[in-house]
Amino acid sequence: MSKNFKPIIIVTGDPNGIFYEIFFKTFKKINCKNPIILITCKKKFFREAKIFKFIKKVNIIDLKKTNFIFKRSSINLIDIELKVSKNKKNNDILLNNYIEKSFDFALELIKEKISNKLLNGPINKKKFLNKEYLGVTEYIASKINKREFGMLIYNKSLSVCPMTTHLPIKKVVPFVTKKNIIEKVVIINEFYKNFLKIKPRIAVTGLNPHCESILDFNEDDKITKPTIKLLKKKGFSIDGPFPADTIFLKDNRKNYDVILGMYHDQVLTPIKTLFEFNAINITMGLPFLRVSPDHGPNYKMVGKNISNHNSFLESVKFLDQI
């Protein structure tokens, strides 16, 4: 394998969801310039490949060998056994063990500098994380002891970053601090400069409707506005706070690359409305690129062959061009 190429490591995520369908649909369409390393259950992969009539060559990696050969013309498969139990509770434990082992193996490959690109398939956060982490973003960050990171829902035209991820609304307000706003802006700026080679134009939303409050203390005036003023003085391309109900209007959003929102649905609802499945989830602030499709495992659509694979396709294309 040429040193000019870095493999894209793909972790199945939940193998009982729509992963295989969106994977096969994607790789029937594209040939990547970078090798693909798929960490999955070999038996389930070939069973699903037969159903979806996927005929691309597969290179089974022999982990007993010290020198791995990753072929660009094949799917390089690393087998992680998926054990199954008739007992539902035990089966959930076995599934979680499989997902965790897959992530551990992927992170080990990254640690050994075999790759710096990780893509995970959709995961049922409620089942896998079991309230220990807010999301997969936090789970992966904790695996490498990274405390400063950010979620970016990315589209080339416009991206969003929520200050908080899967946090209940009543717990959001304490996170709206000068320190946290600065941290997220710095992370966004560094990500865009390092990976996309541009200085991002950042807009910041207010916390309150219309950036106004009937209370004596208004976070938008007392915290957000002076923090943005400070960041502008430091050379960041940043404006706000803007009312969240108007910043996404066409003539407003066209002036920015990223909109930093105060909480999850404040910015994810409009971005998904605008781009639907043509956006991807990126974790910023890690020493490697971690990407995932911006949707869940969608068990209701399993076996129907009607799942939209665009977000997974865009995830692969993004990592392949970096």
pLDDT in tens, 61-94: 987 776 778 899 899 999 999 998 888 888 888 9
Q: Which pLDDT band holds residue 130 (cuts at 50, 70, 90)?
A: confident
Alpha helices in 28-166 (DSSP H): 42-51, 88-111, 125-129, 136-143
Give the containing element (helix H, strand E) for 2: none
Beta bridge partners of 151: 283
11-40 pLDDT, tens digit each: 999 999 999 999 999 999 999 999 999 999
Q: Which pLDDT band holds residue 2 (cuts at 50, 70, 90)?
A: very low
Q: Alpha-carbon distance 179 to 210, whole Å?
A: 23
User: Is pLDDT at 3 greater than 70 in this prediction?
Assistant: no
**Domains of the chain by start residue, with CATH:** 1-146+286-322 (3.40.718.10), 151-279 (3.40.718.10)
Distances from the Cα of 47 to the Cα of 14, 43, 51, 309, angstroms: 16, 6, 7, 20
Cβ(75)–Cβ(57) below 8 Å = yes
Cβ(149)–Cβ(137) below 8 Å = yes
Tokens of 80: 């992680």
145-182 pLDDT, tens digit each: 999 999 999 999 999 999 999 899 999 999 999 999 99
pTM (global) more than 0.85 = yes
Distances from the Cα of 71 to the Cα of 9, 37, 119, 173, 207, angstroms: 13, 9, 18, 49, 49
Mean pLDDT for all residues in the chain: 93
Cβ(240)–Cβ(232) below 8 Å = no
Q: Between residues 62 and 108, which one has the greater pLDDT?
A: 108
Q: Alpha-carbon distance 136 to 115, whole Å?
A: 20
Tokens of 65: 């060998």
Exposed/middle/buried for residue 216 (C-beta within 10 Å: 0-12, 13-18, 19+) = exposed
Q: Is the peptide bond before 287 cis (omega within 30 degrees of 0)?
A: no
- Which residues, other chains included, contact 31 with Cβ-Cβ below 8 Å and sequence gap of 6+? none
266-322 pLDDT, tens digit each: 999 999 999 999 999 999 999 999 999 989 899 999 988 999 999 999 999 999 998
